[in-house]
């Protein structure tokens, strides 16, 4: 029987749910192995896993062990170290957040914790506002209810770098989850001053910084704009509604079934605004109220999805489409208002639509491409700040519904995005146009850019090995033709090499190493393959560029068929 399982069952566990679970799998080797065959992997994304008993699960012991590694890192690298802590609405998130504070306080690391659940961007803001050494956000973002997670942030407000993650991991590996963790009582920590609640002054300062990103807030107040909003039972309910109230949107209908925090997500098993089903209840509310716009934020309120009233129905827009609209709006209106910096810069990820390059070129904006993950956008802001040039940053976004205007946080922010989306929609509404009209105008000008995703699951221990083997095979023997079309360029971001498949010329890719492969195809189309950083999946991003939507969708089907064959899955 698994040695770790025996160790866990020999301890009197503080969480009775864990004791009951371990007893329920007694004698079931496969179930035991799944819980104990590995430790949850700690990386730049922190931890993420199913809630439950075992080293391969999210529970108070794996959280404590990770936090001991974080606290040791802080003490190794900072004098009078401190940490900011927040949590979302997920099952046991509040418990895990307090465990983080208890471990940090016991290790002499001052812990600042929000008194209630708060969004991820407000954690990033608190790290910087309170000059903390690190930050911890307890969340699994948009994963199903059985998951929870642990995001670690550096003093710059970005998710931690590979170097920091490796150093923390080295500490974690030397810790036993039962007898290697220092722990203090939470209330005692409050009394001693080693644990403090984050005050309303920090929250208010965050709101003020969000409002500074407004361009045409005066238009919103007189627009009569009607909005339906759903926080999907997460953290966005208070901050998003507060910001919408402050910019003057009077008519906001909240989806009651999804208003209050509930980690079971009873009406949306996948609380992800990228998924249509998560927005269906909100769209029904739109139909009943005749609202102009639906906003839906994910549980930790760093992503936002929308639906727009269009010819009597409601049309969902993708993250790429909303991002392109926001970039065009911010750039054009900052020029119109005379607030555009002399050398404006925007940032997007390599799996985000190339339509943005066309928009950036039109307005004289430098567009920087970074690896997948918003921390890389935050890094770019940090580099600009070091040069005293952070004022040049105007906008950043990724295809997975994450956007940021302003430099006050270093992660995607659905609060500021919700504000700007409403403002943008109201601005165009005054002109007799809605967001779909404006998007169609962009497509008519630049061509139709269709960006879609396909995922292939690799479950369990064997699945992870199969996923790595497949990526290695694709890397070692790059395809020269896919679906009868030539591969013009092949980018291997793990080897940092781009190959011109026509000439054989190789050039260096100046980005951090990452397990990503990019295929540049004839006609301006491309595909990007990468393992997910948070789930046991390989993702393929398809980019079909054609004259119109019908041709683009036909091309996308061809790409899906060709790449499914290439992966042999």
297 DSSP 8-state letter: E
Question: In the chain, what is the straight-line distance between the N-terminal and C-terminal CA atoms, in Å?
Answer: 34
Total residue length of the chain? 569
- Kindly give the pairing relationship between strand 526-531 and strand 47-50: unpaired
**Three-class secondary structure of residue 536 per DSSP:** coil
Nearest CA to 116 among 228, 199, 58? 199
Tokens representing 132 are 């903390």
What count of other Cβ atoms lies within 10 Å of the Cβ of residue 519? 26
The answer to whether 501 and 489 have CB atoms below 8 angstroms apart is yes
What distance in Å separates the CA atoms of residue 258 and residue 148, rounded to the nearest whole number? 19
What residues form DSSP beta bridges with 346?
367, 395
Catalytic: 532? no
523 DSSP 8-state letter: G
Rounded (10°) angle between helices 435-446 and 414-429: 90
Nearest CA to 48 among 544, 515, 546, 534? 534
Which of the residues 82, 86, 141, 291 is marked catalytic? 141
Task: Decide: residue 240, CB within 10 A, 0-12 exposed, 13-18 middle, 19+ buried.
Answer: buried
What distance in Å separates the CA atoms of residue 238 and residue 246, rounded to the nearest whole number? 12
486 DSSP 8-state letter: E
What distance in Å separates the CA atoms of residue 499 and residue 72, rounded to the nearest whole number? 43
Tokens representing 169 are 């991991």
Any idea which residues carry the catalytic annotation?
141
């Amino acid at each position: 029987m698994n040695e770790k399982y025996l160790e866990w069952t020999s301890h009197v566990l503080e969480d009775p749910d864990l004791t009951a679970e371990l007893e329920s799998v007694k004698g079931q080797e496969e179930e035991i192995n799944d819980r104990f065959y590995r430790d949850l992997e700690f990386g730049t994304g922190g931890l993420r896993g199913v809630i439950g008993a075992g080293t391969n699960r999210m529970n108070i012991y794996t959280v404590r062990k990770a936090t001991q590694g974080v606290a040791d890192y802080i003490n190794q690298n900072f004098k009078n170290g401190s940490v900011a802590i927040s949590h979302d609405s997920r099952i046991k998130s509040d418990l895990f957040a307090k465990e983080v504070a208890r471990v940090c306080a016991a290790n002499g690391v001052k812990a600042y914790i929000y008194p209630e659940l708060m969004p991820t961007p407000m954690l990033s803001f608190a790290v910087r506002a309170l000059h903390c050494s690190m930050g911890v956000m307890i969340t699994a973002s948009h994963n199903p209810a059985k998951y929870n997670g642990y995001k670690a942030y550096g003093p710059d407000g970005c998710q931690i770098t590979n170097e920091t993650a490796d150093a923390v991991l080295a500490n974690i590996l030397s810790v036993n989850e039962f007898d290697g963790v220092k722990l203090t009582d939470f209330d005692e920590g409050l009394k001693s001053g080693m644990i403090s609640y984050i005050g309303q002054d920090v929250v208010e300062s965050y709101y003020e910084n969000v409002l500074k990103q407004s361009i045409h807030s005066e238009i919103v107040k007189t627009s009569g704009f009607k909005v339906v909003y759903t926080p999907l039972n997460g953290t966005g309910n208070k901050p998003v509604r507060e910001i919408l109230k402050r910019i003057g949107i009077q008519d906001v209908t909240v989806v009651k079934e999804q208003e209050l925090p509930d980690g079971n997500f009873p009406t949306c098993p996948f609380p992800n605004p990228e998924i249509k089903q998560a927005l269906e209840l909100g769209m029904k509310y739109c139909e009943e109220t005749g609202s102009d716009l639906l906003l839906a934020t994910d549980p930790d309120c760093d992503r936002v999805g929308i639906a727009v009233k269009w010819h009597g129905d409601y049309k969902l827009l993708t993250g790429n489409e909303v991002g392109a609209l926001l970039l065009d709006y911010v750039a054009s209106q900052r020029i119109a208002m005379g607030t555009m910096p002399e050398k404006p810069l925007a940032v997007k990820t390599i799996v985000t639509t190339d339509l943005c390059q066309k928009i950036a070129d039109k307005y004289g904006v430098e567009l920087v491409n970074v690896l997948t993950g918003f921390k890389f956008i935050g890094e770019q802001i940090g580099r600009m700040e070091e040069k005293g040039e952070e004022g040049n940053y105007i906008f950043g976004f990724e295809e997975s519904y994450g956007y940021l205007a302003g430099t006050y946080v270093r992660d995607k922010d659905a609060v500021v995005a919700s504000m700007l989306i409403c403002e943008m929609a109201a601005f165009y509404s005054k002109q007799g146009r809605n967001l779909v009209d404006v998007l169609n105008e962009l497509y008519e000008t630049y061509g139709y850019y269709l960006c879609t995703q396909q995922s292939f699951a690799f479950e369990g221990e064997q699945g992870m090995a199969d996923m790595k083997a497949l990526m290695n095979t694709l890397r070692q023997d790059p395809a020269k033709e896919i679906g009868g079309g030539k591969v013009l360029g092949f980018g291997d971001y793990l080897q940092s090499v781009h190959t011109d498949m026509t000439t054989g010329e190789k050039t260096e890719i100046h980005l951090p190493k990452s397990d990503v492969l990019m295929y540049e195809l004839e006609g301006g189309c491309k595909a990007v393959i990468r393992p997910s950083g948070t789930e046991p999946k390989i993702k393929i991003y398809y980019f079909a560029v054609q004259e119109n939507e019908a041709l683009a969708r036909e091309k996308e089907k061809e790409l899906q068929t060709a790449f499914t064959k290439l992966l042999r899955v």
